[in-house]
Amino acid sequence: MSQIRPLVAGNWKMNCLRTDGVALASGLAEKANAKGDLGCDILICPPSTLISDIVTVTDGSAVSVGGQDCHFAASGAHTGDVAASMLGDLGASHVILGHSERRADHAESSTLVRLKAMAAHKAGLQTVICVGETEQERDLGATLAVVNGQLAVSVPEGSTAQNTVIAYEPVWAIGTGRTASVTEVAEVHAAIRAELKIRFTDGDGFRILYGGSVKPSNARELMAVKDVDGALVGGASLKLDDFWQIIESCA
C-alpha cells in the first residue's frame, strides 16, 4: 500500500429500502465511532432516495456519504435526473461517476462522464470516476488501451487529488465472484498512476481504488498491491460484517 490514506467505498447500487439502509449505515457508524481513527476513510453510496436519511444517521461519524450518479447540468428540464448540487444539498460529499453499469445500462460515454465530473466538482463534490475493461477487451489484449482511453476522456482538466478518486473496476470481475489477480491489478494501477502523473502535477496523490468482487477473503492481498489506495465494494458492502472486515484490511 502506498502512503496515501486509503478510502474504502461501498456502492450499494439499487439496493435497500429505508429500514435496511438506515440499519446498515447506523451499524457502520457505530463501529467506526467505537474504533476511533481507523487509518482509512469510509464512504457509502446508497441510492439517492436514502442519502438524506443516511447522512442523518452517520452525522458526526467517520462515514461519508455519496451519490451514485449525477446529471451534467446544474438544473433544468431533465426528468428523473439528479443534479450534483442536489446531492450536496442532502449532505453528500462524493459522487460515483462512469460506473460500468451506467456505461452499459445508459450508454454513458467517457465524454458524458467528464461533463458530469465537471458539474460535480463545480458543486463541491469529490468524484469517484470508474474505468475498466470488459472480458472481451481483456481477451483481445486491449485492457490498458481501454482503461487509458477512458481515463483520458473521463477525468477533466483541473482535477486534483483532493477532488478526484479513480476506481479501476474490470467489468468481468463485478458481481461475478471473480477477482482480478494481484498481477493484473498491479499492471493496470501502475498504468493509471503513470497517466495521472503525466497529466496532473499532483498525480501521485490521487487515490486509485480497486473494485470487483472485493470480499473479506481477498481484501488484504489486493490492498497490499502498489498503487492500490482502497476499494470500491459492491455486494460485500451490503453486509455489515463483511464490509467492516474489508475496512479493517485496508486500514
Nearer to ligand 13P, 70 or 233 (CB): 233
Active site residue 99: yes
| Residue 232 within binding range of ligand 13P, rule CB under 6 A | yes
Distance between CA atoms of 251 and 100, rounded to whole angstroms? 27
Query: Is 174 one of the binding residues for ligand 13P (CB under 6 A)?
Result: yes
Residue type for position 162: Q
Q: Is 137 a known active-site residue?
A: no
Nearer to ligand 13P, 132 or 156 (CB): 132
SS (H, E, C) 46-85: CCHHHHHHHHHHHCCCCEEEEECCCCCCCCCCCCCCCCHH
- Does 106 participate in binding ligand 13P (rule CB under 6 A)? no
Residue closer to ligand 13P, measured from CB, 200 or 209 = 209
Strand partners, 126: 94
Q: Binding marks (x or -) toward ligand 13P, 51..90, rule CB under 6 A?
A: ----------------------------------------
11 lies in the binding site for ligand 13P (CB under 6 A): yes
Residue 66 C-beta: closest distance to ligand 13P, Å: 11
Distances (CA, A) of 12 to 55, 187, 191: 15, 27, 28
Which one of 234, 242, 250, 251 is in contact with ligand 13P (CB under 6 A)?
Answer: 234
108 binds ligand 13P per the rule CB under 6 A? no
Backbone phi and psi for residue 127, each to the nearest 5 degrees, phi listed first: -100, 145
Torsion sign (Cα): 111, 145, 205, 54: positive
Count CB atoms within 10 A of the CB of residue 106.
Answer: 11
C-alpha cell of residue 2? 502506498
Binding to ligand 13P by residue 230, rule CB under 6 A?
no
Which residue numbers are catalytic? 99, 169
Residues near ligand 13P (CB under 6 A) are 11, 99, 169, 174-175, 211-214, 232-236
